[in-house]
Amino acid sequence: MRLVAKARKKPQRPQRSAEPTTAQLRQEYYARRAAEQALEEMGLRLDERPAPKGDAHPWADTRDALDRLEIFHAVWRFAGLAGYAPEPEDWAAEEGWPTASEVEAVFGDWDKMLDASGIDNAIFAELVDKALGAHRALGEREKELELRTRKLEDEARRIPELRRREEVARTKREEADAARQEAEAARDAAGRDRDTLAARVAELEAEAEQLRAAAAAAASAPPAEGELLEEMERALVDQAASQQARDELHERMERLRAEREQDRRTIAELTQLLARVDAEGPGDDAAGEVAAEPEAPPATVLDAVQRAAAEARFLRFAPKAFESAAESPFRRPGLVLRTLRALDAIAARYAEGDMGKSLGQAAAEHGITQWRPDVAETTRKRYEDDYTFALEGSTRKLWVGPHIGLGSGSGAQFIARIYLHVSDGSDPEVPRGIIVAVVGRHLPDTTT
C-alpha cells in the first residue's frame, strides 16, 4: 500500500484589524485641530452658529402633486380596463383603488377630479358608441342577409315546380295550337261547304221561281217539279245546319284563342321568373350584397354574353362568342349569364397561378356541374372549322377544349354549350387565362 505525503500549507498572513491604529487617531486629531484654528483665524466658529431648521413647504407641494398623479393614474387605468369613467362606488380600498375621501382631500370633490383628469374628453366613450353602432348595423345586416337567404331558398325550392308548370303550360299551348289549326281547317271547310250550298240554294231558288210561275199557269204541277221543290227544301236545311256548324266552330276557335293567350302569358311569367332565378342563382348570397332592386334578366343569349363581357375582369371573349350567341335560341339566357360570371371568378383564381386543384373541381365549387375537360381528337379533326377560333385582331387559329353543358332535354331551345380555350401562358402570343370561344348551340360531334 502506497502512502501519499501530505502537501505542506503556506503560512497565512494575519488579517488587518478594521479598528484605526493609535497613529491614525493621533493624525486625525491634529488635522481636525488645525482646521478649527484656521476657521478661528477667519472669524468662523461653528459651535456658535444656531442649528439649521428644515423647510417642509416644497416637500408638501411635491407630496400633493404625487397624490394627484396617483389618482390620475387610477382614473385612466380604471377607464382603460372598464371602458368608462369611474364613480365613487366603483373604487374600493380593499381592491387597491383610492377612496372617495382621499379624492375629496386632494381635489375637493369627485367631479373636480374627473374634470382635472380630462377623462371626459377621452376616446373611450366614442369608441364604445362606435362599437355599439357597428354592432347594431351588423345585426341589421345579418337580418337582411337572413331574409334574402330565406327568399333565395324559397325560390330555389320553387324552381322544380316552376319548370313543371312551364312544361305543362307549353304542352297545353301546343295542344291549343293543334286544336286551333284543326278548328281553322274545319272552319275553312265549313265555309267552303256554305258557299257551295249557298250557290246551290240560289240555283234552286231560281228554279223554284220558274216552277212557281209555271204552276200558276197550270192547275197541277208535274211530278218532276215536286221533286225539285223537295230537293230545294233539303238544300235549305243543309245550309242551315252548315251555318250552325260554322258558328259552333267559330265559337270553339275563339275559346281556344283565349286559352292560348292565357297560356302564353303564363309561360311568359314563368320564363321571366326562371330567368331571374337563373341569373341570380339559388345560393347567392349571402356573401354578396343585398341589391336595392332585382336585376333584370337578359332577354337573349347575346344580351347575356354582352353583359358578362362588360362585367368580366379576368375572363376574355373571342368575337366568335358573340356571333354564336346571336344565333342561339336557348330559352334560359339568365343561366348563361350566371355561368359566365362564375367562369370569371374561376379565371381570376387561374390567373394567379396553381390553384391546387383541377378546373373541373374549381367549377364544381362555383355550381357548374356539367363540366367537360376536353373535346375528342377525332371530333376536332372532322370538324376543324367549328372547333377553332381566332382572337380579335389576329388570324391565328386556336382550339377549343373544355366546355360546359347548360339545360336539359333536346333541341337548341332547351340545351346550350359554352366552349372555352385555356392557356397556360407558355405561348407568348396568348397570355395565361381562360377565353370564351363559342356560346350557344351544341357543336357537331360524332354523336350528331
CA–CA distance, 313 with 334 (Å, rounded to integer):
19
Residues 87 and 198 both lie in one domain: no
- Give pLDDT, residue 27: 87
Same domain (yes/no): 416, 313: yes
Written in H, E and C, the secondary structure of 6-67 is: CCCCCCCCCCCCCCCCHHHHHHHHHHHHHHHHHHHHCCCCHHHCCCCCCCCHHHHHHHHHHH
State how many domains the chain has: 3
What is the predicted pLDDT for the residue at 17?
61
Assigned C-alpha cell, 299:
332577354
235 lies in some domain? yes
Which of 250, 280, 310 lies at the terminal end of a domain, its last residue? Answer: 280
pLDDT at position 233, please? 74
Element of type H or E holding 150? helix 124-217
Domain boundary among 52, 87, 121: 121
**φ, ψ for residue 219 (rounded to 5)?**
-70, -35
Per-residue pLDDT of the chain (448 residues; tens, 9 = 90+): 333 333 444 555 555 566 778 888 888 888 888 887 887 777 766 566 666 555 555 555 677 788 889 898 998 988 888 878 889 998 888 888 998 888 888 888 999 888 888 887 777 667 777 888 888 888 888 888 888 888 888 887 888 887 788 788 778 878 877 777 877 787 787 778 777 877 877 877 787 777 777 666 655 545 555 666 677 777 777 777 777 777 777 777 777 777 777 777 777 667 666 666 666 665 454 444 444 466 788 999 999 999 999 999 999 999 999 999 999 999 999 999 999 999 999 999 998 887 788 999 999 998 898 999 999 899 988 999 999 999 998 889 999 999 999 988 888 899 999 999 999 888 888 999 999 999 999 999 877 6
The pLDDT value given to residue 7: 43
Domain finish residue from 102, 121, 140: 121
Handedness of CA 112, 113, 116, 120 (dihedral sign): negative
pLDDT at residue number 300? 93
Beta bridge partners of 434: 422
Rounded Cα gap, residues 27 and 36, in angstroms: 15
Q: Is there a single domain that holds both residue 340 and residue 427?
A: yes
User: Is residue 237 assigned to a domain?
Assistant: yes
Domain co-membership, 218 together with 94: no
Q: Are residues 255 and 310 in the same domain?
A: no
Within 13 A of 282's CA, how many CA atoms are on the CB side? 11
> Based on the domain organization, do 259 and 360 belong to the same domain?
no
Establish if 243 belongs to a structural domain: yes
**Structure confidence at residue 293 (pLDDT):** 61
The DSSP 8-state label assigned to residue 188 in this structure reads H
Grid coordinates in use for 328? 342561339
Q: Is residue 112 domain-resident?
A: yes
Q: Let me know whether 310 and 273 are in one domain.
A: no
Q: Is 256 part of a structural domain of the chain?
A: yes
Cβ–Cβ under 8 Å, residues 211 and 159 = no
- Give domain status of residue 155, yes or no: no
Say yes or no: 81 and 207 in one domain.
no
Length of the chain: 448
Here the cell at position 166 is 312551364
pLDDT for the residue 429 = 87
180 lies in a domain? yes
Let me know if residue 329 belongs to a domain: yes
190 lies in the same domain as 262: yes
The predicted structure's pLDDT at residue 218: 59
Residue type, 252: R
pLDDT of residue 177: 77
Same domain membership, residue 264 and residue 231: yes
pLDDT at 277: 65
Cα(85)–Cα(83) distance, integer angstroms: 7
- 374 in Cβ contact with 401 (< 8 Å): yes
Residue 367: give the domain boundaries: 301-440
Q: What is the 3-state secondary structure (H, E, C) of 258-321?
A: HHHHHHHHHHHHHHHHHHHHHHHCCCCCCCCCCCCCCCCCCCCHHHHHHHHHHHCCCCEECHHH
Angstrom distance (rounded) from CA 405 to CA 372: 8
Q: What per-residue confidence (pLDDT) applies to 1? A: 33
Q: What is the pLDDT of residue 280?
A: 62
What pTM did the predictor assign? 0.44
Residue showing cell 377612496: 99
DSSP state of 94: G
- Distances 219 to 207, 216, 224, 268, 414 between C-alpha atoms, Å: 19, 7, 15, 74, 80
Please tell me whether residues 306 and 341 are part of one structural domain: yes
Query: Which residues does 12 contact at the CB level (< 8 Å), separation at least 6?
Result: none
* 78 and 170 inside one domain: no
CA nearest neighbour of 253 among 177, 201, 310: 177
